[in-house]
Structure 1
Amino acid sequence: MSGRRTEVIDLSVVVPAYNEEQRLGPTLDAVTAYLSETEGRWGEWEVIVADDGSTDGTREVPQLQHPRVQLVTSPRNRGKGNALRLGVAASRGRRVLVTDADLAAPIEELERLDKALSEGHTAAIGSRSVPGAAIDNHQHRVRELLGRAGNLLIRTTAVPGIRDTQCGFKLFEGDRAREAFAASRLDGWGIDVEVLQHFRRSDWPVAEVPVRWSHQPGSKVGPFDYARVLADLARLRARALRPADLLVTTLFLLMAVALYSGRFFDPDHRYLPDSLQDQNQWEWFFSVTADNVAHLRNPLFTDLQGFPDGVNLMANTVMLGLSVPFAPVTLLAGPAVALSLCMTLGLAATAVAWYWLIVKRVVRQRAAAFLGASLAAFAPPMVSHANAHPNFVILFMIPLIIDRALRLCAGTRVVRDGIVLGLMAAYQVFLGEEPFLLAAIGLTLFAAAYAVVRRDLAKEAWRPLLKGLLIGGAVCLPLVAYPLYWQFAGPQSYQSVLHGDNAGNSPLSLLAFAERSLVAGDAETANALSLNPTEQNAFYGWPLIALAFAIVVRLWERALVRALAFTAVAAAVLSLGPKIRLPLTDTVYPGPWALLAHKPLFESVIEGRLAMICAPALGMLLAIAVDRLAATRAVGTMYLGFLGVLLALLPLVPAPLKSAERVEVPAFIADGMWKSYVHEGESLVPLPLPDPGAAEALHWQTAAGLGFKLPGGYFNGPYGKDRIGIYGASPRYTSNMLRDVAYTGVVPTIGKNWQAQARKDFAYWKAGVLVVAPQDHDDALRKALEKLTGRPGRWTGGVWVWDLHEGG
């Protein structure tokens, strides 16, 4: 070939050849004759013979002298994949037909494939296995059965949903064929599967079209060549775990350690102040779970907190899916170490899971996937929750569940995938139900949008998806039925937790920067637009929103982009809550969340958290854009694009979470002095009682090895006849009065009525000792207790104590 022509034509026909001296000539005669006779139908065309180092006279067949036939050659034989890569790379057609040299599918079948592309598909596969196909000349029966078995293995393990991957008659859109073949790595027969996988990952629709097919004598594809295809694919999968993947995993782990660096290296003595009291609560959750496991007690309940009524642990976010496996760590190293390790590793694992999903389903470019997964796992709302809520940052099961649901849509192995999905869902219930509900909302939004933009795929997918979901539900429900019964109807269960009329985001919070932004953080603004530092649920920043808008406009033709854009926008609007107040005005409009706000399950959701759904959606949009930028040849476009990505992401880089020296546990607790004051069945009563605003006593309890019980506490429990969910134990007269004294420093007039009520409440709590630690207004507390008990407290082990036993 003297020179590479660059003008675009209508159709390229690529014929791979190796030692095809006998069959290539008749094939070229048939192809050129058909295309010449139908010139008006196919326009400008070319035929490219890709010779893979033939050792016979393949390169000298006379038909290669045809003016529209060109020959490209490989210096040595490497395999069909190598030949196809050469031929497709040399093509110029808007459409590219790949056909084997034996022309087992007649060239006239091109009409059927072209019709499929005209209907919106990007590739059409000639198939011998779909209804309407015709086989004129069968292979030997044994050979045919072995071939079918091999093809079954390929389609079930590599390209679910496509019945005949190996038929050598395929029509592609030219540019996408050149991209897919250029990205391929296999030199053997497995390239057909590898290219189809590329089309699937890129969300390019593929049609399987029935064709006439006839077995040709001298075929080089034997039944055992399917084993070679499987071996090729196995090698491809082995190579798929590249050094880049190990590097990415290491980077995510380092990022998680850096985020927690203020506490990670000394978890016993460091506290995350932005967690408010949640770090104390979560360490207690890990500690009590480990204690229940060690003593073979019910892991769904305890009376160590909220004594004597107790705490329904299943109705609280104890994350049994991790606190149980981490029980040995908790017992050996303590709950502070276990929680710190769990949150750090869990955050890194979540990022790796998003990376895996993006590489598998969205883009192949590792750097693009890394950026997308970084945004999904380390976005500002995730960093905010990283202070205090492991159930909202340890989400590694969600990408796995998404992938399994997508497998169901393919319609193969529905039973197996449904069973696995059910097991995954059951495990996620024990990791976090509210994040699971939010993920389900996000998946529903995405599925609805994708079904609208790709109705053809939706028609094919809904039946196997529904069947798989039903199977998954049948597997999941028996595993979670009893724990859920305990959660909603067991001891200390409650109806719902109320968060006020509107816990939605301000529209401004979607554009603002989070407090922990390394370069743009503004604590005053962030706190004004959020419930507290652990609930900065949006804060994506206006540069990222602008970049996402530009990505959607530029790549609007891609169905995946449109579906992701709808998911992000819909989730953001839902996160504004049932009432949406326009910024800087008093105008309020009803929000779409109002339709769900009072429905079971949804009524307990903090609606602002719905904005967290945007993180993976925006991450995938970012990955798609970066992948496209990396492939562009326009230097200016690449420069401006990457500059925009940098400017959008830089303000989102998080600073390490704030940490502070932890308040020491009083010697009265740490040295075991409490043991002589608290008898069997009694409780130690810190005053004021521990609650969500002051739960340091939970740390005392874990430091004492859970040796005593506490009234009050930080948990969700029932209140009143309607069993409405509240934070903490049901208040009593004495606990309310002493709480007021602790906050105001004002001691009310205490007479016989208050003294009698205190005796009732102390008896209800089965109190053995009252304890007041140094704090604001502790003098007032001591005076109140002196009047209630009739005697002064005793300074012991760094606290004031009142022994309530006779003679104490």
Structure 2
Amino acid sequence: MTSPAEAASPEKPGEPPSRWRAHLTMAVVALAAAVYVCQGLWLAPYRNVVADNVSDQGQFEWMLAYGVYLLQHGTDPFFTDLLNAPRGVNLAMNTSSTFYAVLFAPLTHFAGPSISFATILTLNLAGSAFVWYLFLRRWLVRSGLAAAVGGMLFGFCPGLISHANGHLNWTSGWMVGIVAWWVLKLPERDHWLRNGIVLGLLCGMGFSVAAEALFFCALASGLFLGIWLLSRPGRQMARSALPPVLKALGVCAVLAGALLAYPLYMHFAGPLKFSGTGFLMDHYSEDLVAYAAFPLQSLAGLFGWGADLAPNATEATSFLGAPLLLLFGAALVLLWRRASPERRVTLRALTVVGGVFFVLSLGPRLRFMGTEQEHIPLPYALLAEIPLFDSALPVRYTLVVVVIIALVLALFVDEFLNRTALTRVALGAAVVAALAPIAPLPLRTLERAPEPEFISSGRWRDFVSDGGVMTTLPLAMDVAVDSMRWQATTMADGGAAQFRIPAGYFLGPQDYEETGRELVGRLGPPDRPTTRLFYRAGRFGQVSRVTDVDRAQARADFEYWRLEAIFLPDEMTGPRGPLNRAALVLFCTDLLGEPEHVQDVLVWRIRPGVDPVDKPARG
């Protein structure tokens, strides 16, 4: 019994690798390209941050530091009360990346979460290109060059480069490649037990790396495998493949179910669960024109040919450019004409998967040139309320389309690489013309606030009890994550004592009412009045006179958070640079009185049950 990949492969699948030098060269090239893309982080890893997504990098650094805390204290990997005091956060419904957090915990402890972040991001990009190169080289193409073209196209495609702006989960394309590899092995009659066990372990790992990407991989793999089996002449192949596939999937389900029983319970029934993502599906849908446009952070964008049609810089997942789309279409037609019946089955399955995910990426309603066409609904409108689909952003389905394009392009290069000299020249020119415009530029970076000596020296322990609540300002949220950063550094240091913080940058329910109804997701906790006052001062420099009402509300909010201290460093990081420290000092002094000057921070002690300051309000 042959697998889909074996049937489509021009080589014997069991043949051992004979070109280790080529593999090593590809690994070095992929790693060099990844370092080039991430060079801004490596130039100053403790100070620089990706400019287009400061907050997501801070959030992932917190998750990595939590891995050290998790191993040291044996706490719950899927729920924490270190954030969002006193309620806590359901990490199973967030990008907790437990696999990375635990695996890189030693590096995080000794070098810090920012080093771990830059390391994982670099390895993700290089690993994505290399794993898909191996996938192609092993199963689909003869030529190492053809496999390299496909691997580099996916590993450094505009979608992965855009997600490199802060997303360790969505740059983990290597994980998808490995899972897809073993899915293709499921029809093997004599190895169903081994394949089921391996796939179950991979699902357990993949859930903690990128659960949403694993969901996409499962959809695409199942669709491909079903079409491949049903498209073969007669029904004998499908009938003979069904038993090993079902048995392997049964083993996979049992093993993955055992490994993921608790995280899945936390995700679907745990405390502070919610539905949706907190993001608008219509906004995070692919623009039809974006597929043919060039990305801003690319060689074409450098010359002013890029288009700004993405929801934000981190979700620019298509932007493949018209030349690549034309080459893909031509490659598909030429391959089909020259393909054997076995290869046509594979091409048909790839085309259907690509088409389905293309339609899904467009979201509930068609978007064209930045405008939603409300009168043109699309199939995703029927899926948007279904569990799992309701937690996925449509624009990200594009990454599966890119995989299909990379596979087809590699097959095309492999097919015509050994033709006449003129054919090879035309092929090379076509590939360069299609790929050069979308070649990535290095990630843009900016400087963020350095770690205060107040934190690094451990002096903070004098102002908060063990497990008590302390914060810097503004409170941690999607545009200000310094509180999470300083908490992360204390977790990474591995000390026994630890402070908690109110609020945070995470996905949580819209409110905490015990009404029995399904709560919708949002970014961060429900707003409290004092949070908004701190935010307006820090982000926009708005300092209003403090009233008795403000003081009473602050007292209530402080008691709710069980807050013991507030500190302000010399610098605070916002989404585009430093926040307004002077405005926060004025506001906090008016609200809380004169601060203590401790090392490089100002500190206000909070006395529970006492008015913020012992003086009459002004105004």
TM-score (norm 2): 0.87
Alpha carbons 1:267, 1:336 under 8 Å: kept = yes
- What is aligned with 1:763? 559
- CA distance in 2 between counterparts of 1:422 and 1:559 reads 27
Does the residue aligned with 2:362 lie in a helix, a strand or coil? coil
The equivalences for 1:569-608 within 5 A come to 569-583=355-369, 587-588=373-374, 589-608=376-395
Alpha carbons 1:286, 1:330 under 8 Å: kept = yes
The equivalences for 1:467-546 within 5 A come to 467-502=247-282, 503-521=284-302, 526=307, 528-546=308-326
- Residue by residue over 1:128-157, the C-alpha shift from the partner in whole angstroms, topping out at 9 and shown as x without a partner, is xxxxxxxxxxxxxxxxxxxxxxxxxxxxxx
- CA distance in 1 between counterparts of 2:305 and 2:530 reads 37
Which is worse superposed, 332-341 or 614-623? 332-341
- What is aligned with 2:165? 387
Aligned-partner residue type, residue 714 of structure 1: Y
- CA distance in 2 between counterparts of 1:508 and 1:654 reads 20
- What is aligned with 1:548? 328
Does the residue aligned with 2:417 lie in a helix, a strand or coil? helix
Question: Does the alignment pair 1:559 with 2:345?
Answer: yes
- What is aligned with 1:716? 507
Aligned-partner residue type, residue 74 of structure 2: L
Alpha carbons 1:373, 1:616 under 8 Å: kept = no
- CA distance in 1 between counterparts of 2:562 and 2:582 reads 25
- What is aligned with 1:730? 526
Question: Does the alignment pair 1:618 with 2:399?
Answer: no
- CA distance in 2 between counterparts of 1:414 and 1:590 reads 42
- What is aligned with 1:103? none
Percent identity between the aligned chains? 31
Question: Does the alignment pair 1:303 with 2:81?
Answer: yes
Which is worse superposed, 619-628 or 291-300? 291-300
Alpha carbons 1:494, 1:725 under 8 Å: kept = yes
- CA distance in 2 between counterparts of 1:587 and 1:310 reads 40
- CA distance in 1 between counterparts of 2:384 and 2:181 reads 29
Q: Which fold has the larger relative contact order, with Cα–Cα distance below 8 Å and residues 6 or more apart in sequence?
A: 2
Aligned-partner residue type, residue 719 of structure 1: Q
- CA distance in 2 between counterparts of 1:614 and 1:450 reads 17
Q: CA deviation at 1:525?
A: 5.0
Structure having the higher Rg? 1
- Residue by residue over 1:315-339, the C-alpha shift from the partner in whole angstroms, topping out at 9 and shown as x without a partner, is 2212112211211111122111122
**Structure 1 alignment gaps of length 5 or more:** 1-159, 163-195, 205-232
Question: Does the alignment pair 1:785 with 2:572?
Answer: no
- What is aligned with 1:349? 127
Aligned-partner residue type, residue 296 of structure 2: E
Which is worse superposed, 428-437 or 559-568? 559-568
Shift in alpha-carbon separation, 1:467–1:726, aligned structure 2, 3 A: same
Aligned-partner residue type, residue 555 of structure 1: L
Q: CA deviation at 1:682?
A: 2.4
- CA distance in 2 between counterparts of 1:436 and 1:197 reads 20
- CA distance in 2 between counterparts of 1:560 and 1:376 reads 19
- CA distance in 2 between counterparts of 1:365 and 1:733 reads 63
TM-score (norm 1): 0.68
Shift in alpha-carbon separation, 1:698–1:485, aligned structure 2, 3 A: same
Aligned-partner residue type, residue 555 of structure 2: R
The equivalences for 1:141-160 within 5 A come to 160=1
Aligned-partner residue type, residue 412 of structure 2: A
Q: CA deviation at 1:638?
A: 2.6
Q: CA deviation at 1:258?
A: 1.7
- What is aligned with 1:223? none
How many pairs does the alignment contain?
583
Alpha carbons 1:629, 1:642 under 8 Å: kept = no
- What is aligned with 1:427? 205
- CA distance in 2 between counterparts of 1:394 and 1:254 reads 17
- CA distance in 2 between counterparts of 1:197 and 1:606 reads 30
Alpha carbons 1:305, 1:710 under 8 Å: kept = yes
Shift in alpha-carbon separation, 1:197–1:347, aligned structure 2, 3 A: closer
Alpha carbons 2:6, 2:139 under 8 Å: kept = no
Aligned-partner residue type, residue 425 of structure 1: C
- CA distance in 2 between counterparts of 1:460 and 1:275 reads 50
- CA distance in 2 between counterparts of 1:753 and 1:520 reads 51
Match of 1:339 among 103, 107, 117: 117
Does the residue aligned with 2:317 lie in a helix, a strand or coil? coil
The equivalences for 1:252-263 within 5 A come to 252-263=30-41
CA RMSD of aligned residues (A): 2.8
Q: CA deviation at 1:785?
A: 2.9
- CA distance in 2 between counterparts of 1:275 and 1:581 reads 24
Alpha carbons 2:113, 2:489 under 8 Å: kept = no
Does the residue aligned with 1:556 lie in a helix, a strand or coil? helix
Q: CA deviation at 1:413?
A: 1.9
Shift in alpha-carbon separation, 1:467–1:523, aligned structure 2, 3 A: farther
Q: CA deviation at 1:766?
A: 1.6
Q: CA deviation at 1:631?
A: 2.3
The equivalences for 1:12-27 within 5 A come to none
The equivalences for 1:86-101 within 5 A come to none
Question: Does the alignment pair 1:690 with 2:486?
Answer: no
- CA distance in 1 between counterparts of 2:110 and 2:52 reads 27
